[in-house]
Homo-oligomer: A and B are copies of this chain.
Amino acid sequence: MIDDLPRRALIVGVGLIGGSIGLALRQRGWYVSGRDMLEARAKRAVEIGVLDAVGDDPEAQVVFIATPVGSVVEEAKRELASYPGSDRVVTDVAGVKAAIVEAVDHPNFVGGHPMAGSEQVGLDGAHGDMFVGATWVLTPTERTDPHAYARLQSVISLLGADVVAVPPARHDILVAMVSHVPHLTASVLMDLASQSAEDEPVLLRLAAGGFRDMTRVAAGHPGIWPEICQENSEAIVLMLDRLEDSLHKIRDSISSGDREYLSQLLGRASKARRNLPSKVPPPYRLVEMRVPVPDRLGVLAEVTTTAGDLGVNIFDLEIAHSQEGAKGVLVLIVDAEASSRLERALGEKGYKVATTPLETKE
């Protein structure tokens, strides 16, 4: 698969994430060009080794749109329209996906969201190992071209990230729950404590490690948050409603002296937190799964999001063409322990899977 990899990438917007992608690709031998709305920043990117050159690259086969969320659709459409016959794959890194994917609406555009780097800001915070071990969400749809997806998956795996495929709308709900709403909650807790502390400076000296941990994310610059909240408002409002509802139940249980309710909730949460998967990946044994697929829309999205639903990590993905006309074969590289779950789930959806062991991933 490595031999098929394109070796030229274009990065639009060289902030923290765009800059880190550039560094990571160049460290792996790629030629990377890029541009930025701030000319000085693009020049700086060349100076510090993030880019080989400032400017467009007609030969780039992968284009990362890493601008603020509000410019993604425009920039993606522009890159796709500039080279209409090309098979270049265009992706983005914005924290909200459904609206963008729907607006761009192109087989060679795959929405993406690397779950990394949210607390730092700016090009000078960029580093080439930022994505090693990180989860990188891709949001294929029925319209997604399988070859474009496979190429992007390979590039992102090259950066060291674990790709998880999730439908765009579900991605937005999930990040509202594990990122946006927690961030807002941290800010609200910090703001309430600080308001009380205006009359009582002693308050903040009583804040121990737990409070510091809980409010750490609130220290970041507001930056893109109002924009993210606007883009993902529907999911965030839904999740804020659930949070309010849960807090209100806690309030009522405390007010009425119902200790049992509280014990059960704290017990469930404790167990769930202790089981929260660590970012350190286990040593995987890998298998190759070959999945013959019909040549119809949505097959790629169905197979990859089925894996995502099961928490099965796809380390690599390739499209092989079978001899029999209108069919192809998806070749997935996955963790051996997870493969039987995936095989069963795909079987239930009518796919026939052949699985063979591979050597251990380094």
Contact = CB atoms under 8 A, between A and B. Distances in A.
B241 A251 contact: yes
Contact of A226 (B115, B227, B266, B309): B266
Contact of A311 (B178, B202, B215, B268): B202
Interface in A164-199: 164, 166, 170-171, 173-175, 177-179, 181-194, 196
Interface in A199-213: 200-213
Interface majority SS (helix, strand, loop, mixed), chain A? helix
**Chain A interface residue bracket vs B:** 35 or more
Contacts of A118: 208-210
Contacts of A233: 254-255, 257
B310 A270 contact: no
Contacts of A350: none
A26 B118 CA distance: 46
A262 B243 CA distance: 18
Contacts of A226: 259, 262-263, 266
A296 interface: no
A313 to B, nearest CB: 8
Interface stretch (A41-49, A53-61, A271-279): A271-279
Interface of A: 115-116, 118-119, 134-135, 137, 162, 164, 166, 170-171, 173-175, 177-179, 181-194, 196, 200-222, 225-227, 229-230, 233, 236-237, 239-244, 246-248, 250-251, 254-255, 257, 259, 262-263, 265-270, 272-274, 276-277, 308-311
